[in-house]
């Protein structure tokens, strides 16, 4: 009856309390304390099995902060002395005085509120200090005299066997100023709830200090999924992680490698967590291995030829070769993009000049898309697709025989410096074998066939009124004397014999 009356005797909610349980004896009180963890217990002295003082003594073994109000009909001083020894808040005699009880409850409520505020302030101070130290750690500016002290480890909570630093860079077409704050808040809810470590600001990155959650195999994939969920569909990320260490202070030694890796973000694969240790151990070259700048013109010529014959495999091969040459010289985003833009412009100008169906606008959109790419592999994949589509549009049919494609190619490019080796590379044949196939198909050696095509076009140009030196250059002979000798060899007369007279073509 008294227990039920106590629940309504005081307006518990007024003082911030809620009644969470009741027990009929001391042993049950100890069990319910363990299960419910209350802030205040009202307890009688005389109870069967275990009395109130024994119950308080048992509870004090595990809880030094719980508040107690003793209710008793016994006023002996010995009980009061024992209650004081157990650090109780009040000793109320039965019958219970309602005002006295409420006065005690109000005082305890005030103390609890102050303790709560102090605890909150202490937690906030700890969070701010931990955030500041983790920021210094991620920037490589943590005081070396402090990095291995107990203070840092205390701020990180329960000790761990391994610690690991993760830095995340976010980027988006929308350039939202709140991206980092949003990721920090959402990822912290996951990481800190699972007690895996701490999430902090490490501008321009979001940092994560992980405890006993090594980023390898499945755990790295799990962290990637959490980051993607927190970022949403519109925000992209690239992340780099240190190796695992035993002492959190040692993470500062990894800071330059982790930050250096993110500076190469354009060359990294997006939506992935990259391990700095793999890069340090030579699995990714950070330095150029080629001292001479790549020949953009020759790389562009090869790519254009592949485009011209409509070879998707050839386009892939030419893109791969160009990629190797450019990246071997310099992997900075600015150099790589400007080199590819230059190469692509040459290719598209050639394609536009020989194919009226290719618009300048199409050229511009392809180059613009190149500059907007966030990652190198995405840029190359995009180029491959766009060029393959263009090859299907302007390239010559793959269904034609290789020999027919070769003769058509010569007809289109006779004025350029093409060689049998050029076509062997284009069509992926051994040059000696291809030369024999060509001789069997045309009845002429490759160079002879090329000369004859050039001479035939030279005659057409001469009859249009062009001068001999102009014609020589137009059909691919840089030296006029050499052109004369070739012309006379095949036609038996000099080029001038075919020049038009008064607008009428000369006869042979």
pLDDT, tens only, 179-198: 999 999 999 999 999 999 99
Question: 67: closest CA among 45, 53, 46, 86?
Answer: 86
Residue 292 — very low, low, confident or very high, per pLDDT cuts 50/70/90? Answer: confident
Q: Which of 77-86, 137-146, 421-430, 497-506 has the lowest mean pLDDT?
A: 497-506
Question: 350: closest CA among 423, 413, 293?
Answer: 413
Residue 499 phi/psi, 5-degree rounding, is -70, 145
Q: Mean pLDDT throughout 320-344?
A: 94
The edge-to-edge listing of strands for the beta sheet with 67-72 is 40-44, 67-72, 90-93
Q: Mean pLDDT throughout 475-499?
A: 89
Instruction: With beta carbons less than 8 A apart as the criterion, state whether 382 and 367 touch.
Output: no
Q: Has this prediction a pTM greater than 0.85?
A: no
**pLDDT above 90 (res 249):** no
Q: How far apart are CA 369 and CA 340, in angstroms?
A: 11
C-alpha distance from residue 267 to each of 75, 255, 292, 294, 372 (Å): 82, 19, 21, 18, 14
Cis omega before residue 299 (within 30°)? Answer: no
Q: How far apart are CA 44 and CA 41, in angstroms?
A: 10
**pLDDT above 80 (res 141):** yes
Question: 86: closest CA among 43, 33, 22, 32?
Answer: 43
Q: Determine the distance from the C-alpha atom of residue 463 to the mean position of all C-alpha atoms in its chain, rounded to a whole number.
A: 63
Q: Mean pLDDT throughout 105-111?
A: 94
Chain length of the chain: 508
Q: Which of 127-131, 393-397, 461-465 has the lowest mean pLDDT?
A: 393-397
**pLDDT above 80 (res 280):** no
Q: How far apart are CA 233 and CA 69, in angstroms?
A: 56
Question: 355: closest CA among 406, 400, 304?
Answer: 304
Residue 203 — very low, low, confident or very high, per pLDDT cuts 50/70/90? Answer: very high
Three-class DSSP category at 425 = helix
Average pLDDT for the chain: 87
User: Quick one: pLDDT at residue 403?
Assistant: 85
Q: Which residues pair with 166 in a beta bridge?
A: 208, 241
How many CA atoms lie less than 13 Å away from 452 in the CB half-sphere?
Answer: 9
User: Quick one: pLDDT at residue 149?
Assistant: 60
Residue 273 — very low, low, confident or very high, per pLDDT cuts 50/70/90? Answer: very high
**pLDDT above 70 (res 400):** no
Question: 138: closest CA among 127, 130, 128, 149?
Answer: 130
**pLDDT above 60 (res 42):** yes
Handedness of CA 455, 456, 458, 462 (dihedral sign): positive
**pLDDT above 70 (res 382):** yes
Question: 264: closest CA among 333, 343, 337?
Answer: 333
Indicate the pairing of strand 67-72 with strand 90-93: parallel
Q: Which of 66-75, 356-365, 492-501 has the lowest mean pLDDT?
A: 356-365
Instruction: With beta carbons less than 8 A apart as the criterion, state whether 271 and 236 touch.
Output: yes
Q: Which residues pair with 167 in a beta bridge?
A: 207, 240
Cis omega before residue 95 (within 30°)? Answer: yes
Residue 314 — very low, low, confident or very high, per pLDDT cuts 50/70/90? Answer: confident
Q: Mean pLDDT throughout 54-63?
A: 93
């Amino acid at each position: 009856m008294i227990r039920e009356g106590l629940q309504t005797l005081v307006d518990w909610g007024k003082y911030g309390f809620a009644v969470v349980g009741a027990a009929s004896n001391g042993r049950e009180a100890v069990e319910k304390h363990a299960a419910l963890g209350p802030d205040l217990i009202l307890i009688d002295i005389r109870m069967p099995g275990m009395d109130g003082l024994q119950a308080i003594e048992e509870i004090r073994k595990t809880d030094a902060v719980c508040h107690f109000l003793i209710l008793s009909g016994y006023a002996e001083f010995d009980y009061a002395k024992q209650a004081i020894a157990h650090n109780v808040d009040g000793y109320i005699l039965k019958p219970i005085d309602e005002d006295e009880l409420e006065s005690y409850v109000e005082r305890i409520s005030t103390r609890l509120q102050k303790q709560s505020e102090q605890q909150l302030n202490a937690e906030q101070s700890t969070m701010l200090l931990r955030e500041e130290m983790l920021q210094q750690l991620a920037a490589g500016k943590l005081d070396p005299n402090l990095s291995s002290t107990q203070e840092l480890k205390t701020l990180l909570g329960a000790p761990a066997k391994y610690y690991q630093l993760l830095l995340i860079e976010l980027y988006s077409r929308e350039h939202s100023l709140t991206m980092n704050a949003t990721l920090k808040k959402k990822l912290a809810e996951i990481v800190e709830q699972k007690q895996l470590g701490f999430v902090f600001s490490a501008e321009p990155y979001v940092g994560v200090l992980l405890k006993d959650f090594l980023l390898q195999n499945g755990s790295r994939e799990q962290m990637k999924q959490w980051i993607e969920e927190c970022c949403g569909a519109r925000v992209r990320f690239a992340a780099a992680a240190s190796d695992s260490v035993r002492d959190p202070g040692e993470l500062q030694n990894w800071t330059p490698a982790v930050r250096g890796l993110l500076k190469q973000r354009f060359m990294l694969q997006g939506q992935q967590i990259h391990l700095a240790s793999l890069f340090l151990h030579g699995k990714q070259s950070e330095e150029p291995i080629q001292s001479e700048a790549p020949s953009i013109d020759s790389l562009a010529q090869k790519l254009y030829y592949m485009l011209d014959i409509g070879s998707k495999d050839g386009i892939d091969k030419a893109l791969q070769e160009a990629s190797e040459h450019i990246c071997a010289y310099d992997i900075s985003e600015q150099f790589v993009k400007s080199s590819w833009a230059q190469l692509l412009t040459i290719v598209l100008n050639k394609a536009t000049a020989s194919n009226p169906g290719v618009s300048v606008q199409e050229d511009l959109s392809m180059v613009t898309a190149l500059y907007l790419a966030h990652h190198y592999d995405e840029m190359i994949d995009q180029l491959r697709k766009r060029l393959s589509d263009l090859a299907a549009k302007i390239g010559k049919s793959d269904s034609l025989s290789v020999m027919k494609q070769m003769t058509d190619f010569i007809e289109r490019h006779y004025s350029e410096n093409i060689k049998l080796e050029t076509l062997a590379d284009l069509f992926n044949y051994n040059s000696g074998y291809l030369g024999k196939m060509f001789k069997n198909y045309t009845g002429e050696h490759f160079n002879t066939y090329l000369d004859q095509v050039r001479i035939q076009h030279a005659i057409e140009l001469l009859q249009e009124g062009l001068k001999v030196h102009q014609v020589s250059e137009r059909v691919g002979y840089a030296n006029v004397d050499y052109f004369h000798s070739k012309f006379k060899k095949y036609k038996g007369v000099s080029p001038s014999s075919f020049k038009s007279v008064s607008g009428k073509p000369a006869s042979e």
